[in-house]
A and B are shown apart, each in its own frame.
Chain A
Amino acid sequence: ELKVEQNPLFLSMQEGKNYTIYCNYSTTSDRLYWYRQDPGKSLESLFVLLSNGAVKQEGRLMASLDTKARLSTLHITAAVHDLSATYFCAVEWSGINDMRFGAGTRLTVKP
């Protein structure tokens, strides 16, 4: 069964702190995506990770992919309020042309 699990589902953190969001998936894949959704808005693409060991960074966010562990992480460095949003990972299984989204991590960054 194709499953994508994110944790934590809710994350409240102080500005300036670091934290990591985890995305586990059930079956081997080498295509993983991270998206951001602001309240009441649609999803925006953050990162595309296409191979084992891939690492992408944009500002205070860094995403990595370990295909052997079937795990991706989204690391937040020195969080700021503007990062408050819901973050989704999505895994694509190209062999069956299917993509599944995780449940999302709702991040709140407090002053």
Chain B
Amino acid sequence: EADIYQTPRYLVIGTGKKITLECSQTMGHDKMYWYQQDPGMELHLIHYSYGVNSTEKGDLSSESTVSRIRTEHFPLTLESARPSHTSQYLCASSYPSGGGETQYFGPGTRLLVL
């Protein structure tokens, strides 16, 4: 079983608040990802990282930022939460193996912005 953790699992917060979603993995994977997924819908990549001090934006425009100071930690920050940010956020990590790069997903954070 993959060791990738996300906190909090559920968060209800008011508009304008700053929030940080935590993601940690203990597998030593270099690549990490953040996805946004509305219920029953596809995943949208919002940020990814190839390793320490490397971060890139994904295909979904998002008013969020990430940092990668340590291999195991990849937090996502929303400077000013809005109702449009209400969604599920999935963190993943991956490691090249056998020519492919299977992603291991965390349990997700369900965010509700009022």
Residues of A within 8 A of B (CB): 31, 33, 35, 41-45, 48, 50, 86, 88, 90, 92, 97-104, 106
Contacts and interface: CB of A to CB of B under 8 A. Distances in A.
Interface stretch (B13-21, B41-49, B68-76, B79-87): B41-49
Given A99-B45, A100-B59, A103-B42, A45 B104 contact: yes
B41 A103 contact: yes
B111 to A, nearest CB: 15
Contacts of A48: 98, 100, 102
A7 to B, nearest CB: 13
Contact of B107 (A41, A50, A86, A88): A41
B32 interface: no
B40 A106 contact: yes
B34 interface: no
A101 B43 contact: yes
7 contacts: A31-B99, A35-B103, A42-B106, A43-B105, A48-B102, A50-B99, A99-B103
A24 to B, nearest CB: 14
A42 B43 contact: no
B101 interface: yes
A90 B104 CA distance: 13
Contacts of A90: 103
Nearest to B90: A42
Interface in B23-82: 35, 40-43, 45, 50, 59
Which of A92, A99, A103, A106 is the most central at the interface, judged by chain B CB atoms within 10 Å of its CB? Answer: A99
A20 to B, nearest CB: 20
Contacts of A101: 35, 42-43
Which of B35, B92, B98, B105 is the most central at the interface, judged by chain A CB atoms within 10 Å of its CB? Answer: B105
A35 B45 CA distance: 16
